[in-house]
Amino acid sequence: MGIWDKLTGEFIDVIEWMDDDGDVMMSRFERQGNEIKYGAMLTVRESQLAVFVNEGQIADTFPPGMYQLETRNMPIMTTLNSWKHGFNSPFKAEVYFFNTKKFTNLKWGTRNPITLRDEEFGPVRLRAFGTYNVRVTEPAMFIKEVAGTDGHFTTDEIQDQFRNHIVSRFANVIGEAKIPVLDLAANYDDLGKFLTEAIAPEFNQYGVDLSDLLVENISLPEAVEKALDKRSSMGVIGDLDKYTKFQTAEAIGKAGDGEGGGMAGAGMGAGLGFAIAQQMGQVLQPAPQHTGVAKPPPMPKPIEFFIGKDGKHDGPYDLTDLEGKVKAGALKEESLIWAEGMDDWMKAGDVVAVQGLFGKAPPPLPPKS
């Protein structure tokens, strides 16, 4: 170090912090040996607080402004170090700068579905996510409860803890509210306000203020959403008989216009129109009058299954055929089968109508002695 640097270092000392990242909640002012000159200039900008820590004890706090560090504006430091008559030598202290701005658009969400009981759908699993804002309001408590000796603390380091608090309280609130699943979307604002009031005291224990917690979406499992879509479609259709007649009449009109084009289109339209006309005649004909003689309903069509193996399938087979294949060892519980009305291929052992066949199969022969 040169003579000029040594001289200026003894008389000039500036303590300040510039936040270039935007997500830093607290930063320690790094200084060799933590030495600060008497009369040093401290600059605290808007949305900042500076906290001095002396030998592990939190001392003086400085709001926004410019200060010359002397005994008169460091009462706690003066008391801790017994500076009764002032001093002129350097002193040691850690300086922490806090960003007191509002950290916005922090994310929360459920990692796993929350299982609840709905009056209409029974047990359902819900997922939810949203955003929230926080602000550091008690730097001393933040150091004690959160940051500790960490010299650089960002929102990423505490978001998991915040999210756990929110999700836990969300599960309690949504369970106690007993809001029907179909009415949840209309209550997002109320849920957000109620959650904020319920969780804010827990955030205050960290020296942080919680505000503007929003519930952006609560989603149902895909199977339940499909069922709701089907129910909505039926509600739009209304009277199924009238809807069928209307669709039939529309189809006859389009078929008569020959939308296929040319003679082929006209012939196809005429044929289709004739077929649909017959169907409409059946739909529009009046219901048969009861003659007093009861007629039995038609026998139900037996269920027929296809068997899949090696990327191919064969069938269909009725239950009698399947029983024979089980006895022959050609159909096992893990074999894939499908029948009309099933969403996808399933293991035979998981299909209720087929499960009983495997109990009829003879047990394996005992080993030869």
At 178, which CATH number?
3.30.479.30
> What confidence tens digit (pLDDT) does each residue in 225-278 have?
777 777 666 665 555 566 666 666 666 555 555 554 544 444 444 444 445 555
Output the average pLDDT for the chain. Answer: 77
- Contact between residue 306 and residue 314 where contact means Cβ atoms under 8 Å apart: yes
Position 323 confidence tier, pLDDT thresholds 50, 70, 90: confident
User: Which structural domain, as residue segments, surrounds residue 171?
Assistant: 103-220
Asked if residue 251 is part of any domain, the answer here is: no
pLDDT at 306 over 70: yes
Number of domains in the chain: 3
Same domain, 116 and 187: yes
Region 19-33: mean pLDDT is: 82
**Tokens linked to 318:** 């009725």
Q: Indicate if 163 and 107 belong to the same structural domain.
A: yes
Residue 298 lies in a domain: no
Q: 82-111: per-residue pLDDT in tens?
A: 666 555 667 888 889 999 999 999 999 988
Q: Is residue 227 part of a domain?
A: no
The predicted pLDDT at position 326 comes to: 86
Amino acid of residue 197: E
User: Does position 299 have pLDDT exceeding 80, yes or no?
Assistant: no
- Which stretch of 17-31, 81-95, 171-185, 335-349 has the lowest confidence by average pLDDT? 81-95
CA atoms within 13 A on the CB side of 84: 1
Whether residue 138 is found in the same domain as residue 182: yes
Q: What is the DSSP string of 87-128?
A: --S-EE-EEEEEE-S-EEEEEEE-SSPEEEEETTTEEEEEEE
* pLDDT digits 0-9 by tens, 173-225: 888 888 888 788 888 888 888 888 888 999 999 999 998 899 998 888 777 77
Helix (H) or strand (E) holding 250: helix 240-256
9's tokens = 């270092």
What are the residues whose beta carbons fall under 8 Å from the beta carbon of 117, sequence distance 6 or more?
123, 124
In contact, 58 and 105? CB cutoff 8 Å: no
From its phi and psi, is residue 143 left (phi > 0), alpha (psi between -120 and 50) or beta? alpha
Are residues 145 and 90 part of one domain? no
Q: What CATH number is given to the structural domain containing 341?
A: 3.30.1490
Q: Are residues 180 and 192 in the same domain?
A: yes
Q: What is the pTM of this model?
A: 0.55
Cβ count within 10 A of residue 137: 16
314 token code pair? 């064969």
Are 178 and 210 within one domain? yes
Model pLDDT, residue 264: 44
120 and 194 together in one domain? yes
Same domain assignment for residues 31 and 110 = no
Do residues 45 and 109 both lie within one domain? no
Choosing from 99, 115, 143, the residue where a domain stops is 99
Rounded CA separation 326/362 (Å)? 10
Residues 143, 190 within the same domain:
yes
For residues 84 and 107, membership in a common domain is answered with: no
Same domain, 51 and 130: no
